[in-house]
Structure 1
Amino acid sequence: MKALLIKYKSVIKFILTFLSVYFALTLAYKYYLDYSEESKYYPDYVTNLVAKQSKLLLNSLDYRVQVLPHPDEPSMKLIINEKYVARVVEGCNSVSVIILFVSFIIAFAGTFKYTFLYALAGSILIYAINLFRIAVLSIGLYNYPWRRDILHTVIFPLIIYGMVFLLWMFWVNRFSKLKKYHA
């Protein structure tokens, strides 16, 4: 048993680090969401911000967009040219995806400086791609509402998770300490 632990020490360390960071960040995010119920931003600050920034992005593309609090559920209604096309819910704000990304980067940590800067830059890129994703999804739903299922369940998750996967692969192959151990 001891030989197995020694042999797979780096794998065990990765798994424990990933799970610890993921659990800590998810717990912090849960507390943030619980605290947000008392906030003036509906449904929470980040989701509200994402909805408003999506509106600005769509307006810059010559769409007339409104973002309104949904009366029946914790989300923001996205309305294009007087047509209700989508709702921005907490799951659309990219925070959960960023938590997953950062947990992986820390589990495969390089130097503190590179790990911190890459996690920060990657998080900003994921956030920006998410805004782009929401804007394109909204345009797609406005113009092709009959494609709702494939747009929302296949194409657009592929965009955000595909970006995360590419960022992970770049990190592991370029900056991770683990690469140096096996070189």
Structure 2
Amino acid sequence: MKKYIIQYKPFLIFLLKFFLSYLILTFLYQFYLNSFDSSSLEVDSITQLVSVQTQQTIELFQYNSYLEPHPKQNSTMLFVEGKNVARVVEGCNAISVIILFIAFVIAFKGNWKKTVLFILAGSILIYVLNIIRIALIAIALYHYPQHEHLLHGVIFPLFIYGVVFLLWVIWVNKFSVYAIQKKA
């Protein structure tokens, strides 16, 4: 057993760092979410900000858009041209995707300065692309409501997770210790 632990030590350290950072960040995020009263349908401030920025992005695409609080759920109803096309819920704010991104970057170590800068730049990119993604989903649902499952369940998740995967590939191949060792 000891032989295998020594043999797979780099992989086991990677897993430990990944799961530990993922659990810590998820715990902190859950602590943040618990500070909002879901029984009174209160929407967390990050999700509210995502809703507002999505609505503003839709208007940049020359569509009339507005928001209303959902009367029965802690979410925001998003309207395009007077038609309710979506609910913006906590899961739409991309924080869980950003946590996953950060955990991977931390686990695949690099120097601290590059790690922090890459996490910051990647998180901002994911956040901004998520706003655009939600706006495009809303506009697409306005025009093609019959394709909701394809748009919301397949195409746009592929987009956001594809971006995260690309960022991971860039991190591993350009900035991680592995990439530095490969160059030397």
TM-score (norm: length of structure 1): 0.95
Matched position secondary structure for 2:67: strand
Q: Which residue of 2 aligns with 1:148?
A: 148
1:182, distance to aligned residue in structure 2 (A): 5.9
Task: Determine the C-alpha separation between the residues in 1 that align with 2:74 and 2:41.
Answer: 11
The sequence identity of aligned pairs, in percent, is 47
Q: Deviations over 1:41-88 (max 9, x none)?
A: 941000000000001111111111111111111111001111000010
Task: Determine the C-alpha separation between the residues in 2 that align with 1:77 and 1:70.
Answer: 6
Report how many residues are paired. Answer: 182
Task: Determine the C-alpha separation between the residues in 2 that align with 1:34 and 1:180.
Answer: 41
Q: Which residue of 2 aligns with 1:139?
A: 139
1:37, distance to aligned residue in structure 2 (A): 2.2
**Are 1:23 and 2:10 an aligned pair?**
no
1:6, distance to aligned residue in structure 2 (A): 1.2
Distance change >3 Å, CA 24–CA 176, structure 1 → 2: same
Matched position secondary structure for 1:157: helix
Residue identity matched to 2:134? I
Matched position secondary structure for 2:35: helix
Matched position secondary structure for 1:35: coil
Q: Deviations over 1:10-53 (max 9, x none)?
A: 10000000000000000000010000228x99410000000000
Task: Determine the C-alpha separation between the residues in 1 that align with 2:37 and 2:24.
Answer: 21
Q: Which residue of 2 aligns with 1:123?
A: 123
Q: Which residue of 2 aligns with 1:71?
A: 71
Q: Which residue of 2 aligns with 1:56?
A: 56
Q: Which residue of 2 aligns with 1:13?
A: 13
Task: Determine the C-alpha separation between the residues in 2 that align with 1:41 and 1:112.
Answer: 40
5+ residue gaps, structure 2: none
8 Å Cα contact 1:42/1:48 also seen in 2: no
Task: Determine the C-alpha separation between the residues in 1 that align with 2:135 and 2:81.
Answer: 14
Matched position secondary structure for 1:106: helix
8 Å Cα contact 2:41/2:75 also seen in 1: no
Task: Determine the C-alpha separation between the residues in 2 that align with 1:109 and 1:54.
Answer: 34
Task: Determine the C-alpha separation between the residues in 1 that align with 2:83 and 2:179.
Answer: 51
5+ residue gaps, structure 1: none
Matched position secondary structure for 2:86: strand
Q: Which residue of 1 aligns with 2:46?
A: 46
8 Å Cα contact 2:174/2:180 also seen in 1: no
Q: Which residue of 1 aligns with 2:84?
A: 84
Q: Which runs of 4+ in 1 moved over 6 A?
A: none
Most deviating of 16-25 and 62-71: 62-71
